[in-house]
Amino acid sequence: MSARTGGSAAPGRRAAPDLVGVLVLGACAGWSLVTAAGREARPEGVLLAVLAVAAGYALGRISGSLVPVATAACAATAGLLLAYASRDGVPGATVDPLPGHIGVSAALPALAAGAACCGAWAARTAAARLVLRLLAAGCAGTALALGSAAGCVAALGILLCSLAAARMRHRTVGLAGLAAVAALVAGGSVAVAEDVLPAGLTVSLEGQLTPERVLLWRDAMDLAEEHPLRGTGPDRFGGLSPVALQSPVAAGKPHSALLQQTSEQGVLGTGLLAATYGWLLYALWRSPRTTPVVLTAGAALTALAAFACVGNALSFSPVTMGAGLLAGLATARPHGDGQPEAERDAEVVHAGG
């Protein structure tokens, strides 16, 4: 019997995703200290991000086990409030200053929409499901009101993916598709930075990303080529990038978490960032929750991964903690639930359909 079929799974196998998470997050923290050693680097930002993810995941697992619907509703509401308040300077959640920003105003509404949709699938009554899905639609409106078209599209896409997940019987295909989307966006951002795309496509993408962002990305790749193993050290991009030094709005970052990690922590740092996303998908794949909940959370986390490739979303603690919280909610085992997953999937699809 599958390790994901409710209470029949062996406790040791159920704990495997948690063990993988400890190893991956521990490696992220340790490598940031290694790359900072002997340099005027500041690994505190990476360590804070790791702590935020771990804390959010633990909170999601605990609260999602006890009161999954209430926790999802509170998380979605808090995400929207933080996104709205970020315009006024919520600590650690300032809006990305570059034109076409993809930061807090995009990431938090997307995560909030994911939480609301997960709560809708966990809800027992049709009225509660409707309210939570309306809340998810409100996340798209909030993102649009904040000027983030990307956040609006992501929130609507997550809502649609959540509804479509009701017809999916196997989560493996859905999660593999989400991983492919993240890989495509990551590869595209590297291709733009390396200037290997056809000229017409490059011009089109530069118009969406802004020329200044593309120049920052190319500086990041140049630094990565000069320091492929250990990178330049955490939080040193701003002092080494010619474009960042001359830009009044770059804030010392390349405005791509992927390329920042590559330039500051080398190839291994990039691999650890990818491993963190892979761990989250693995945890969702092994989750005891129903397939619609798993795929909804996966869609939201993939949207965040895409934002991280082309924006500054992971630079803010509310976003990293929100990602951990959503993953924890979607992998929590409901208190006293020993019903096989296949039966619960059938029930929730019938209720949602």
Confidence at residue 159, expressed as pLDDT on a 0 to 100 scale: 97
Query: First vs last Cα of the chain: how many Å apart?
Result: 28
Mean pLDDT of 146-164: 94
Q: Where along the chain do its domains lie?
A: 10-352
Confidence at residue 336, expressed as pLDDT on a 0 to 100 scale: 60
Confidence at residue 87, expressed as pLDDT on a 0 to 100 scale: 58
Confidence at residue 11, expressed as pLDDT on a 0 to 100 scale: 53
Integer angstrom CA distances of residue 157 from 19, 83, 196, 307 = 31, 18, 29, 14
| Statement: residue 23 has pLDDT above 90 | yes
| pLDDT digits 0-9 by tens, 72-108 | 999 999 999 988 886 544 444 444 444 445 678 899 9
Confidence at residue 217, expressed as pLDDT on a 0 to 100 scale: 94
Residue positions counted in the chain: 353
Confidence at residue 71, expressed as pLDDT on a 0 to 100 scale: 95
| pLDDT digits 0-9 by tens, 214-232 | 999 999 999 999 999 999 9
Higher pLDDT pick, 37 / 12 = 37
Confidence at residue 342, expressed as pLDDT on a 0 to 100 scale: 40
Higher pLDDT pick, 13 / 103 = 103
Q: Give the closest residue to 64 by CA, choosing from 291, 334, 300.
A: 334
Mean pLDDT of 54-76: 95
Backbone dihedral region of 170: left (phi > 0), alpha (psi from -120 to 50 degrees) or beta?
beta
Q: What is the mean pLDDT of the chain?
A: 87
Q: What is the DSSP string of 86-138?
A: GGG--TT-PPP-STT--SHHHHHHHHHHHHHHHHHHH-SSHHHHHHHHHHHHH
| Statement: residue 344 has pLDDT above 70 | no
How sure is the predictor about 169, in pLDDT bands with cuts at 50, 70 and 90?
confident
Residue at token pair 């993988």: 20
Mean pLDDT of 248-272: 90
Mean pLDDT of 244-255: 82
How sure is the predictor about 349, in pLDDT bands with cuts at 50, 70 and 90?
very low
Return phi, psi of residue 51, to 5°. Answer: -60, -40
Task: Please state which of the ranges 8-22, 112-126, 159-173, 307-321 shows the lowest mean pLDDT.
Answer: 8-22
What is the percent of the chain where pLDDT is above 70? 86
Rank 60-69, 97-106, 196-205 by mean pLDDT and report only the highest. 60-69
CA dihedral sign of residues 210, 212, 216, 222: positive
Confidence at residue 203, expressed as pLDDT on a 0 to 100 scale: 85
Extract the tokens encoding 186: 């990551």
| Threshold 0.75, pTM exceeds | yes
Distance CA 279, CA 281 (A): 5
Mean pLDDT of 102-122: 92
Query: Rounded to the nearest 10 degrees, what angle do helices 149-164 and 291-310 cross at?
Result: 160
Confidence at residue 339, expressed as pLDDT on a 0 to 100 scale: 46
Confidence at residue 12, expressed as pLDDT on a 0 to 100 scale: 54
